[in-house]
Amino acid sequence: MRLLFLGDVVGRSGREALIAELPGLRQRLGAELVVVNGENAAHGFGLAPEMARAFFAAGCDVITLGNHAWDRKEIIPYIETEPRLIRPINYPPGTPGAGHVVVELADGRKALVVNAMGRLFMELLDDPFRAVQAVVQAHPLGRAVQASIIDIHAETTSEKAAMATSFDGLVSLVIGTHTHVPTADHRILPGGTAFQSDAGMCGDYDSVIGMQKAGASLRFWRRLPAEKLAPAEGQATLCGLLVVTDDRTGLATAVAPLRLGGCLAPALPEI
């Protein structure tokens, strides 16, 4: 299976680039499953239902969220009725929505997508490792599903790497989100799981992790809470990862980064 994961969509620039490029990109890369983290799509904070619908219409199969999941209150009734939109699995019981989904491809193959949120330097939710373990054990790779992806939305690379090593050989891909900077550590771990510490963002990199430079920088100079944050609106770079898996085992056989447009060095997967 050919899996395409795209990092955090930030603001209008990121949304427009994703919607414009994804249909052709999906065809060009032969992507059979597309997962997008959309938690910063609405002016940098949260996701609105109409934005989710536009992402699905452009060719996205699953949207994951993170610490800004509830910034747009109108997402709450929508997530209750749209299983393809998932939030971190380690929110407490009773939280709207679900933390995982099983997607069935047109040919009958199935893929599990799990969203989890780290706890280091972030909101102290329930244990993401045990929450992920339960759902991965319930959907064994190579038997119940032909591929599985964990989006670990976390601040530290150590927590993301710990998630990857913990589930190496049990899932197809562990991919980090949240820090908005694409890391150069994409690889296949010894057990066959693909990993990258952070997929990067789909947004304008002439910014401070997607936000306009002036307001974001002043926060560090003056430490005043009133400094306004707004998404940068220049040309976006789409950042993500393409993974090819073995349908028999569900494990990764190839992995390559994606960077398209904007001001970062381009990288188009050729696998």
Give the residue numbers annotated as catalytic, written as ranges: 68
Q: Which pair of structure tokens corresponds to residue 130?
A: 């045990």
How far is Cα 206 from Cα 218, in angstroms, rounded to an integer? 16
- What is the phi/psi pair of residue 228, to 5°? -80, 135
Q: Partners of 259 in the beta sheet?
A: 239, 267
Name the burial class of residue 127, with classes exposed (0-12), middle (13-18) and buried (19+) by CB atoms within 10 angstroms of its CB: exposed
- Cβ-based neighbour number of residue 102 at 10 Å: 16
Q: Which residue has the tokens 């380690």?
A: 90
**Residue partners of 24: CB distance under 8 A and separation at least 6:** none
Q: How many CB atoms lie within 10 A of CB 184?
A: 8
Count of helix runs (H) and strand runs (E) in the chain:
6, 13
**Please, where are the H alpha helices in 117-246?**
128-138, 157-166, 213-222
